[in-house]
């Protein structure tokens, strides 16, 4: 098995973090509901981030990193203002090229394995 890689680029300010707890609900006929977490890791985060790169070499390296992981291989990343590294997958990203830089908009989902 390959060693898990680490994403070293730092995102621009304005990272959006979303948490949507996974909850199982059972509804009874009298209107009563019983709720519980759906598993041991029911509260994983989603990160919407933008990485700005200023050289062609950086653009190629980040593009190759994301493409190699292909939306299904997990990698490690330490989000800004978070005290620990998380394991994430990036299933979707887009690139906006400008004259002096390129912006990679990435949606990263926290995973356990």
Q: What is the pLDDT of residues 54-107, one digit of tens each?
A: 999 999 999 999 999 999 999 999 999 999 999 999 999 999 999 999 999 999
The answer to the question of residue 20 being in a domain is yes
Tokens of 76: 């490690």
The answer to the question of residue 8 being in a domain is no
pLDDT category of residue 33 using cuts at 50, 70 and 90: very high
The answer to the question of residue 6 being in a domain is no
Domain that holds residue 69: 16-110
Mean pLDDT across the chain: 95
> What is this structure's pTM?
0.86
The answer to the question of residue 3 being in a domain is no
Which SS3 state, helix, strand or coil, does residue 62 take? helix
User: Is residue 2 scored above 80 in pLDDT?
Assistant: no
The answer to the question of residue 10 being in a domain is no
Give the alpha-carbon dihedral of 93, 87, 41, 44, to 10 degrees: -40
Share of the chain residues as helix, strand and coil, in percent rounded to the nearest 5: 10, 40, 45
- Return the number of other C-beta atoms located less than 10 Å from residue 31's C-beta: 6
Alpha helices for 5-105 (secondary structure H): 56-69
How many degrees, rounded to 5, is the angle at CA 6 between CA 4 and CA 7? Answer: 140
Total domains, the chain: 1
């Amino acid at each position: 098995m390959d060693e898990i890689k680490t994403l070293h680029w730092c995102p621009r300010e304005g990272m959006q973090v979303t948490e949507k707890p996974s909850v199982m609900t059972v509804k009874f006929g009298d209107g009563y509901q019983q709720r519980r977490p759906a598993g041991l890791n029911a509260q994983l985060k989603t990160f919407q981030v933008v990485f700005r790169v200023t050289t062609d070499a950086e653009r190629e390296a980040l593009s190759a990193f994301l493409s190699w992981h292909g939306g299904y291989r997990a990698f490690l990343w330490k989000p800004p203002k978070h005290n620990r590294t998380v394991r994430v997958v990036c299933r979707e990203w887009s690139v906006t090229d400008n004259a002096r830089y390129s912006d990679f908009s990435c949606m990263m989902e926290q995973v356990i394995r």
